[in-house]
Chains A and B, each alone.
Chain A
Amino acid sequence: MNIECRGETVNIATGGVEVDRDLPPVVLLHGAGMDRTVWSQQTRYLAHHGFAAMAVDLPGHGESGGEPLPSIAEMADWVAEAITEIGLGPAHLVGHSMGSLISLEVAARHPEAVERIVLLGAAAAMPVHPDLLGAAERNEVLAPQLITSWGHGTRAHIAGNPTPGLWMRSGCQALLERANDGVIFNDLAACNAYEAGDVAARIACPITVVVGSEDKMTPPRATSQLVAGLSDVDLKHLDGVGHMMMIEVPDRIRELLLDALH
């Protein structure tokens, strides 16, 4: 479905069904340079299992209009406005990577908009390798390649896509290559500059954090530092899984989301 937010069209995947306004809303937020399709193995499932599932294209991403927003705080303010525009009340927020930072900030800055947050590939700080940041600034294909390389666990670099015929590595790289020039850099720079400050102390809603043992972009150690500052948090470990966990192990993420959101 499409909604308007700040005068721009926002594209939202709803799992192929019309949003049922009587169901609890779940807003899924993608990571840097990506779009709603990273949730394609979860959105349709949630939409048929008791939720109003909405995978959002952030401004300037996917099929949404507008320009990408320059900071995590501004992205969080935009998400809170979008939730108001959707009009279904407080939502469960599911965020991946940059989307997890946005979710943290929405929960801290706009608690009235949030029921619960589920963070995949999360950390209190996301410093970006300078070579990656430089390649993204120059709009080089090296940026999608490095994110793809570091974003997947060892197993995902060999095989294991449960969807017959799909190859994860090129799927991730192609998705990132489709981003408009400047989008990946904008997002990585926003992650790189993010400082959590006292955000953990300001979050009142329940939190689920999911960490992959082979995550090189938000390593388990960095996730632990985030979790240490949070209260009412449920930490889930996934062995042998990298940063792109909702694509690497979609079945496990589906089960985990159903468990966390009910």
Chain B
Amino acid sequence: MVDPEYLKFDTLSLHAGQEPDPTTGSRAVPIYQTTSYSFVDTEQAAGLFNLEQPGHIYSRISNPTVAVLEERIAALEGGVGAVCTASGMAAFHLAAATIMSAGNHVVASRNIYGGTHNMLNLTMPRFGITTTFVDPRDPEAWRSAITPETRLLFAETLGNPGIEVLDIPLIAQIAHENGLPLMVDATFTTPYLMKPIDLGADIVMHSVTKFLGGHGIALGGVVVDGGRFDWAANDKFPTLSQPYDGYHGISFADEYGHQALSMRARAEGLRDFGAAMSPTNAFHLLQGVETLPLRMKRHVENTTSVVEFLEEADAVTWVSHPSVATHPDHELAKQLLPKGAGAILSFGIAGGREAGCRFIENVQLASHLANVGDAKTLVLHPASTTHQQLSAEDLVAAGVGEDLIRLSVGLEDPEDIISDLSRALRASQKG
């Protein structure tokens, strides 16, 4: 039996979306630091504005440097296209605003990034879009939360903070049975560890800032269009299936079919909301993507070492990572994430909130900050920082105990990471 002659993942990480610059021969992706592009003539200009022919008009809508990153991430995810944005939050908003309008409803996992939770819980209701939050591990909760106004199911591939593994095939099946798309935030997994579109997801978004960029130097987000969902199969998605006056009555589903979402997200969403990625950020993020497979492999190896250490450490009461046999999603992780379940983990420290503070104050190699997915190891004690305004009871309800430490395992020598954690754990117990 013959196989498709597709370029492999590592090759695509380096090459997809770019050819040597035709004018200068530049092998690296040039930074096209420009706002706008000269038109050949009035006819070409009119054709570009009317979507009769492709090309760049203004960098809020598209830019050659950003386009390389978009095509590369789409290639790695197996999507038909991608649209980059100024941040991961902008990516979520772009996707949501492209397919939904006032009166629509979202069913979302309750274990998601706080920023996304705030947008769904507090901000989007002001614009008429409401959300029901559900336990991501409870398929009946997903089913029963769907209403006639639901237009989107949303979850993270790995949840926050319990590192819940999303059963994408199952939740996608529930979505599709109801004529709805499933969008996943795959920031923690990246396409190296998991390809959600192959598992049934319809839209994938990332904070490119994290593992894809990998170096903590540039903000960015991306929406990847899986291209398999039929937006015209029912009347739920008029922004894609009905004529749009913004381009003389174009119907994106009729004109572009499987690429309708990415075409409208750019033509309307970037044009009108304007949350575009800067070309310089795209350049920085591309440097990260080039080494994504090498870095993720090392992130996962280091995480394995750190988990083994923490499981044996006296000052640690529990470790939550899908690689741990007692994690509720251990078996699911082996099935869906055979290369590893990422480099974010949480653990409980003996002594609660005070011990957690002392631990954080005594790490010297690991960095205390509110980010994940850097090349450097990062730690955070939510009870004393991001969630400090919550009571002990509220913290438990949010799944964030006073003793919880979140760790984003970096690329340092694992012996040095463990040595640093060991020193800080000892100090934490000397209260």
Taking Cβ atoms with an 8 Å cutoff, the residues of A that contact B are: 11, 13, 15-17, 35-37, 40-41, 43-45, 48, 62-63, 129, 131-132, 142, 145-146, 148-150, 155, 157-167, 169-171, 173-175, 177-178, 250-251, 254
Contact = CB atoms under 8 A, between A and B. Distances in A.
A165 B81 contact: yes
Nearest to A160: B19
Nearest to B6: A149
Nearest to B78: A170
B258 A40 contact: no
B51 interface: yes
B70 A165 contact: yes
A164 B73 CA distance: 13
Contact of B19 (A158, A164, A177, A254): A158
9 contacts: A16-B251, A40-B259, A145-B6, A158-B16, A159-B68, A164-B56, A167-B71, A170-B75, A177-B228
B27 interface: no
Interface string B52-92: 11111000001110111011001100111111100000000
Interface residues of B, number: 54
A164 B257 contact: no
A159 B16 contact: yes
Contact of A178 (B4, B19, B53, B258): B258
A251 B48 CA distance: 12
Given A48-B47, A159-B18, A178-B228, A167 B255 contact: no
Contacts of B325: none
B19 A155 contact: yes
Contacts of A40: 255-257, 259
B397 interface: no
A164 B54 contact: yes
A48 B52 contact: yes
Nearest to B227: A174
A166 B62 CA distance: 12
Interface of B: 1-2, 4-7, 15-19, 47, 50-56, 62-64, 66-68, 70-71, 74-75, 78-84, 226-228, 230, 232, 247-251, 254-259, 262, 266
A158 B17 CA distance: 6
Contact of B81 (A37, A45, A166): A166
Best-buried of B84, B259, B266 by chain A (most CB within 10 Å): B259
Contact of A157 (B7, B78, B247, B251): B7
Contacts of B1: 131, 142
Nearest to B84: A165
Given A37-B255, A166-B74, A16 B247 contact: yes
Contacts of B17: 159, 167
Nearest 6 CB-CB pairings of A with B: A174-B227, A37-B257, A149-B4, A164-B62, A165-B70, A167-B74
A162 B5 CA distance: 23
Contacts of B70: 164-165
Contacts of B81: 163, 165-167, 171
A48 B50 contact: yes
A32 B78 CA distance: 22
Nearest to B247: A16
A169 B75 contact: yes
Given A44-B50, A159-B19, A165-B266, 19 more contacts: A16-B247, A17-B248, A37-B258, A41-B53, A41-B54, A131-B1, A158-B16, A162-B55, A164-B66, A166-B71, A166-B81, A170-B74, A170-B78, A171-B81, A175-B227, A175-B257, A178-B257, A250-B54, A254-B53
A63 B251 CA distance: 13
A37 B256 contact: yes
Contacts of B15: 158-159
B19 A167 contact: no
